[in-house]
């Protein structure tokens, strides 16, 4: 395996034997293969890909698609039925909430136990313990049995342990869905630091926004088969469109970030704050084509003042009927940590249905209590269905917002949001 490859998966297959009754296992053993007392279930079938050092990679797919099985094979917890997995470097994994923790041990004892499993001496863990305890920030509970922990405390300690043992490869399975927003910001900042230091991150998440924000590459699993892979936005688009079809043929996708045909001129690309490095995905039933920031009557100022009311507007053109669209706004730090997020449903409730050719302008009024420096704006239009949220157009990290003269150094704060919706001619 080449030195620049962190993980190499080749023709990987994992098949389980499912028995209807515990006694059938004994019957199967003594049948000498002449009769089968089980059914076979293939969780992964002939999966192949490579992950380079320094990449942050997302694994997406519905429940039961084989994501967790794939991670357990990568971590060496399971053995493949056929094919191979090669790993180049030390893996630290957070696969399940509290996996590997003894509920009767204290938090401190579990930290040292995990370190021992990874090959660290007690002296080496002594050097790391204070950093782990500070990151987890659970106070005196670190000396209590983990069976007394809440789910949030559990994941704090598990994540703190995983990221403070010098991993070359960090594997995370849905763990970022647990915990408050402030802790998620801290986790994502640490993930970014690991990546900048040359580490590799593999992230399984049902929160597609996390994959869009933090992953350069993504792979889509469906019924144990690798259906798509490549640029994260392109794979997300493939996932969105596959939810609308029952086609079982592997999707071959082009390396382009935006699949739908653009029916209106995209004036966002000419915005003075346009980043040129946005992640865009969705089914294209709505298309965001313009945006504006107003502070004190000035349009698109070079810098805005923290703590001073601003208006953020963006325009949408509908290419298909959309029932009760939801309009969103997200603000991230320049390093990708989520700082603030809001949407029209939370602020004003349901909005009216939209038809083909409709144009609307949405306005968010906020008071940005943010630190000095560069921040990133993301816009989105979605709707709900029986399958959950349906993304129509999500433009992540599309506009850079420069903040000057901060009035507070706090992180995640109430920005006193207001929302308006105007139909355009």
Architecture of the domain made up of 258-423: Distorted Sandwich (2.70)
pTM confidence score: 0.72
Give the pLDDT confidence score for residue 406 in this predicted structure: 53
Across the chain, mean pLDDT equals 84
- In this structure, are residues 163 and 98 in contact, taking their beta carbons and an 8 Å threshold? no
Give the pLDDT confidence score for residue 96 in this predicted structure: 64
Q: What is the mean pLDDT of residues 210-232?
A: 88
- Written as one string, the DSSP assignment of 353-413 is -B-TT-EEEEEEEE-----SEEEEEEEEEEEEETTEEEEEEEEEEEEEEEEES-S---SS-
Give the pLDDT confidence score for residue 47 in this predicted structure: 94
**Residue 197 CB neighbour total at 10 angstroms:** 10
Say yes or no to pLDDT of 410 above 50.
no
Say how far apart CA 7 and CA 71 lie, in whole Å: 11
Say yes or no to pLDDT of 247 above 50.
no
Q: What is the mean pLDDT of residues 47-65?
A: 91
- 250: pLDDT confidence band, cut at 50, 70 and 90? very low
Phi/psi of residue 64, nearest 5 degrees: 85, 10
Phi/psi of residue 385, nearest 5 degrees: -150, -175
Helix, strand or coil, per DSSP, at residue 198: coil
Q: Side-chain half-sphere of 332: how many Cα atoms within 13 Å?
A: 26
For the chain, the structural domain boundaries read 1-89+168-183+193-255, 107-167, 258-423
Which fold does the domain 1-89+168-183+193-255 belong to in CATH? Rossmann fold (3.40.50)
């Amino acid at each position: 395996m080449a030195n620049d490859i962190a993980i190499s998966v080749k023709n990987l297959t994992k098949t389980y034997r499912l028995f209807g009754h515990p006694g059938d296992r004994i019957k199967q053993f003594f049948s000498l293969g002449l009769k089968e007392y089980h059914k076979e279930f293939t969780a992964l079938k002939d999966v192949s890909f490579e992950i380079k050092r320094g990449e942050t990679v997302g694994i997406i797919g519905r429940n039961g698609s084989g994501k967790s099985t794939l991670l357990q094979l990568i971590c060496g917890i399971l053995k493949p039925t056929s094919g191979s997995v090669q790993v180049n470097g030390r893996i630290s994994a957070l696969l399940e909430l509290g996996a590997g923790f003894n509920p009767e041990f204290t938090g401190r004892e579990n930290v040292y136990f995990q370190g021992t499993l990874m090959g660290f001496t007690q002296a080496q863990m002594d050097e790391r313990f204070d950093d782990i305890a500070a990151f987890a920030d659970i106070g005196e509970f670190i000396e209590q049995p983990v069976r007394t922990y809440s789910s949030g405390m559990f994941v704090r300690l598990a994540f703190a342990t995983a990221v403070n043992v010098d991993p070359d490869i960090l594997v995370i399975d849905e763990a970022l869905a647990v915990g408050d927003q402030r802790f998620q910001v801290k986790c994502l900042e640490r993930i970014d630091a690991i990546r900048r230091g040359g580490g590799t991150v593999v992230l399984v998440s049902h929160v597609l926004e996390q994959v869009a924000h933090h992953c350069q590459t993504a792979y889509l699993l469906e019924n144990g088969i690798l259906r798509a892979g490549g640029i994260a936005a392109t794979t997300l688009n493939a996932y969105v469109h596959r939810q609308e079809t029952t086609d079982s043929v592997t999707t071959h996708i082009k390396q382009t970030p935006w699949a739908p045909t653009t029916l209106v001129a995209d004036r966002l690309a000419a915005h003075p704050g346009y980043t040129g490095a946005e992640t865009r995905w969705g089914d294209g039933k709505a298309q965001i084509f313009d945006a504006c920031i107003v502070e004190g009557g000035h349009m698109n100022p070079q810098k805005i003042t923290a703590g001073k009311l601003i208006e953020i507007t963006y325009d949408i053109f509908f290419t298909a009927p959309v029932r009760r669209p939801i309009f969103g706004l997200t603000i991230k730090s320049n390093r990708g940590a989520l700082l603030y997020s809001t949407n029209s449903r939370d602020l004003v409730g349901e909005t009216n249905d939209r038809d083909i050719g409709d144009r609307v302008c949405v306005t968010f009024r906020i008071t940005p209590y943010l630190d000095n420096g560069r921040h990133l704006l993301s816009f989105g239009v979605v709707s709900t269905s029986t399958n959950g949220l349906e993304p129509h157009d999500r433009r992540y990290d599309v506009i850079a917002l420069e903040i000057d003269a901060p009035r507070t150094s706090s992180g995640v704060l109430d920005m006193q949001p207001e929302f308006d919706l105007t139909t355009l001619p």
